[in-house]
Amino acid sequence: MRPLKDIVYCSVLAVAVLAVNCAVFGQIPEYNIVPCRTISADNPQGMVYRDDGFWVMKSGATHAEDALQHYSLAGDFLDQKTNLPGSVNRHGLAWDGMHWWLADNNYGPESIYKCDENLNVIQRYDWPAAGPFGLEWADGYLWVADNSTDVIYRVTVGETAFVSVEPWCTTNPEPADLAWDGANMWSSTGPSGGFDGVMGDRVIYKHDAEGNIIEIWHYPPADDPSVGSGGTATGIAFVGSQLWYCDYDQDLIIEALAEGVPCQSMPVEVSIFIDPETLNPGSRGKWVMCYIVLPDGYITADIDVGTLELQGVPADRLVLTEESDLGMAQFDRKDIAAAINGIDTNPVEFTLTGLMNDGTGIVGKDWVTIIDRGRGPKK
């Protein structure tokens, strides 16, 4: 990290902004993004990915049209929350594991809101500049991309006010959104312009711990609407190690692959129900049954039975039912007991994986309670 003498703090009440001169080093690796999987979304802005899918800010023309929308990784619209605080055109969105954080930069006073799961406001924080646009929560800090000062800030949060607002990087000329990949911060910019009229390139930057740019990813240009628009990537997020971004002109959430990396099919999320719900590894039963419910447009006859696995255990067979979207797979009980041996948590999350006949992946999850762990299988 930068020595303490070089760290600059500014009060949350200060108006002047002190810049940290983070560097762009010599020859930086650059990559061209090729869009892969896409999800249709209504005017997507700030974006977060959680275990339950994408959460995306829809910025409407009026406050009544604003929403926090929920999409599955498979691309299904699941739900939306419309009771957003503040004024219209909120962009920034972050999730700290317990609370939502929303940025409001439209009419003033510029604010950042801490909300519960249902978007009830817990605390409103004043923001000392005019353009809080992108948010991320990482490493115990709130990170704010402000496109009025063109600075990315690292913020220490108190109960009722920000304890410190530290300018972290000024290399991004028009910061739009932020995303944390587990080790590094990423920031997007684009040609939409901002308070100072400066327009950025269509790029997403990867930063090191001091804010220096260490990779540059170019997303598609405006003159090729089939693969991207001229708008700024106003939302970025990671699904595991995979980068996704929002294209608000085309109403899409887009998986960003490096040029030359093959695009894989989107896995189909299936609902599964394990029987028994409570499993005794030492019981005399022969099978663990897994009921599979496919989403609309798929039938169980299209499942490649030889690829089905539950906790890594191959399926013995798949029984089709009169309902074309419902199947029942059976797995050897002793093999399942061996597969979960050593897992200390309870209940245990069971994962079903496999392929459709066309190569599309399927995945489903259910929870099973384990009893009498100390007893081995009966002979």
State the pLDDT confidence band at 232, using cuts at 50, 70 and 90: confident
Q: Tell whether omega for the bond before 85 is within 30 degrees of 0, i.e. cis.
A: no
Whole-angstrom distance, CA of residue 20 vs CA of residue 67: 35
State the pLDDT confidence band at 215, using cuts at 50, 70 and 90: very high
Percent of the chain that is helix, strand, coil (3-state, to 5): 5, 45, 50
Least confident of 199-203, 212-216, 269-273, 328-332: 199-203
For 264-324, where are the E strands, in sequence order? 268-269, 271-275, 278-279, 287-293, 303-310, 313-314, 317-320
State the pLDDT confidence band at 107, using cuts at 50, 70 and 90: low
Which whole number is the average pLDDT over 359-378? 76
Which whole number is the average pLDDT over 340-366? 86
What pLDDT digit, counting tens, does each position of 199-208 carry? Answer: 568 899 999 9
Q: At which residue do the structure tokens 């006949």 appear? A: 357
Domain borders along the chain are 12-258, 268-370
pLDDT score of 355 more than 60 = yes
Most confident range, picked from 29-33, 190-194, 196-200, 343-347:
29-33
This prediction has a pTM of 0.67
Domain formed by 268-370, architecture: Sandwich (2.60)
pLDDT score of 221 more than 70 = no
> Mean pLDDT score of the chain, rounded to an integer?
82
Task: Kindly provide the b/e burial profile for residues 113-150, where b requires at least 16 CB atoms within 10 angstroms of the residue's own CB.
Answer: bbbeeeeebeebbebbbebbbbbbbbeebbbbbbbbbb
Under CATH, what is the fold of the domain 12-258? Neuraminidase (2.120.10)
What pLDDT digit, counting tens, does each position of 251-267 carry? Answer: 899 999 888 877 766 67
Residue 103 · residue 144 · CB < 8 Å: yes
What per-residue confidence (pLDDT) applies to 254? Answer: 93
Whole-angstrom distance, CA of residue 217 vs CA of residue 255: 13
φ and ψ at residue 207, rounded to 5 degrees:
-115, 155
What per-residue confidence (pLDDT) applies to 10? Answer: 31
State the pLDDT confidence band at 20, using cuts at 50, 70 and 90: very low
Whole-angstrom distance, CA of residue 73 vs CA of residue 71: 7
Longest C-alpha distance within the chain, in Å? 76
pLDDT score of 47 more than 50 = yes
Whole-angstrom distance, CA of residue 332 vs CA of residue 317: 10
What pLDDT digit, counting tens, does each position of 116-162 carry? Answer: 999 999 999 999 998 899 999 999 999 999 988 999 999 999 999 99
pLDDT score of 225 more than 90 = no
Which whole number is the average pLDDT over 18-37? 70
How far CA 262 is from CA of 33, 172, 259, 294, 357, in Å, comes to 12, 29, 8, 26, 19
What per-residue confidence (pLDDT) applies to 284? Answer: 77
